[in-house]
Amino acid sequence: MLPKSALIWQLCVVYFLAMFAIVARAESPYRFFTWNVTYGDIYPLGVRQQGILINGQFPGPDIYSVTNDNLIINVHNSLPEPFLISWNGVQQRRNSYEDGVYGTTCPIPPGKNFTYILQVKDQIGSYFYFPSVGFQKAAGGFGGIRILSRPLIPVPFPEPAGDFTVLIGDWYKANHNKLKSVLDRGHRLPSPDGILINGHGSNGASFTVEQGKTYRFRISNVGLQHSLNFRIQGHKMKLVEVEGTHTIQTTYSSLDVHVGQSYSVLVTMDQPPQDFYIAVSTRFTNKVLTSTGTLHYSNSAHPVSGPVPGGPTTQIDWSLNQARSIRTNLTASGPRPNPQGSYHYGLINISRTIKLESSAGQVNGKQRYAVNM
């Protein structure tokens, strides 16, 4: 949807220039990005599809940054339709006019460009960006965001030997416009056709590691609807960070990652020199879809072998218990949930309880997904 008149778009540009003047006074480093958003052919499940590429890439480029950096991202929309990026997890400062959600941020009209100016103030951690209008997320346009701690800030684990972005998500062979029309006609989304790992279908994604070393994997679920379980054959994962919060370092053999979530795990390559399966499968679905990638030891003597490791499928308690086991490490570095207040949460009296529940329903004959609808 386009703003009702060109006037609104012009107001956005004027507002943006005013905000630029304010942000530009900060003294933190600037990182400049120029992105060109286009349609292009992609073949993630072996058939040709129209994907949304950023600078020719699917998934889009990762954004690497350090706490307090200013990110200046000039996005050229070369699609024939409006395009808007949501910076999932990047905190908006003072106001949310650039959060990339329709209603607070204008989509970029076809053929136009807009420069997003974000500051990752007091933030660390793993996040991702994605298109937020027109169901374009079903066609690509997403990528990883990582915010590293400033050099002098202690991180509660040794520097890993490598750092991988792992974008997992359910995927459809149908075009995003077609999927959108399914919803607009009042139907639920069909079952996805597969699961992608970094834009690849089964056996496509590969991560090369050295035996004996420890690596960080930043796993984000960039999909549309399904929770996914992530695991690596023969290896344990130590959870260290969830969306910018260092966690109590608990070891898991598999992790549920719900849509929109980002987790960092450390994995030590402590197995014999060979290749291992990375498995991602759908949760809470009747038909379980599984996709695999490869963990490749650089001195590997054998290709992947044995059964693909299984994971939980329909068990809900398992997932809730795992979520409850994830805790903030309150003595580690990182942003604090309430900088002014006490950390003794157990002593805070609860004055109001708000229950959030995802829901699905019809609005004017169209299928919509909502919270507490």
Interface ranges with ligand NAG (CB under 6 A) = 13, 36, 38, 74, 76, 78, 113-115, 156, 248-249, 329, 331-332, 347-349
Pairing mode of beta strands 206-209, 237-242: unpaired
Q: How far is the CB of 16 from ligand NAG (least distance, A)?
A: 7
**138 exposure class (CB count in 10 Å sphere: 0-12, 13-18, 19+):** buried
Q: How far is the CB of 83 from ligand NAG (least distance, A)?
A: 12
**Closest by CA position to 215, among listed 295, 155, 287:** 295
Q: Which is nearer to ligand NAG, 38 or 367 (CB)?
A: 38
Q: How far is the CB of 335 from ligand NAG (least distance, A)?
A: 14
**Closest by CA position to 247, among listed 119, 333, 121:** 333
Instruction: Provide the 8-state DSSP code for 188.
Output: P
Q: In Å, what is the CA distance from 172 to each residue of 247, 278, 287, 314?
A: 34, 21, 15, 21
Q: Which is nearer to ligand NAG, 78 or 285 (CB)?
A: 78
Q: How far is the CB of 158 from ligand NAG (least distance, A)?
A: 11
**Closest by CA position to 327, among listed 212, 263, 242, 235:** 242
Q: Which is nearer to ligand NAG, 1 or 153 (CB)?
A: 153
Q: What is the DSSP string of 216-256?
A: EEEEEE-SSS--EEEEETT--EEEEEETTEEEEEEEES-EE
Is 205 in contact with 293 (CB distance < 8 Å)? yes
Q: In Å, what is the CA distance from 294 to each residue of 126, 209, 213, 233, 274?
A: 22, 10, 17, 10, 10
Q: Which is nearer to ligand NAG, 306 or 341 (CB)?
A: 341
Q: Which is nearer to ligand NAG, 1 or 345 (CB)?
A: 345
Q: How far is the CB of 198 from ligand NAG (least distance, A)?
A: 23
Q: How far is the CB of 339 from ligand NAG (least distance, A)?
A: 17
Q: In Å, what is the CA distance from 79 to each residue of 41, 52, 278, 318, 352?
A: 14, 8, 34, 42, 46
Q: How far is the CB of 24 from ligand NAG (least distance, A)?
A: 14
- What is the CA 253 to chain-centroid distance, rounded? 21
Q: Is the peptide bond before 59 cis (omega within 30 degrees of 0)?
A: yes
> Which amino acid, one-letter code, is at 162?
G
Give the residue at shortest CB distance from ligand NAG.
Answer: 156
Q: Which is nearer to ligand NAG, 10 or 299 (CB)?
A: 10
Q: How far is the CB of 99 from ligand NAG (least distance, A)?
A: 17
Q: Which is nearer to ligand NAG, 13 or 370 (CB)?
A: 13
Q: Which is nearer to ligand NAG, 115 or 322 (CB)?
A: 115
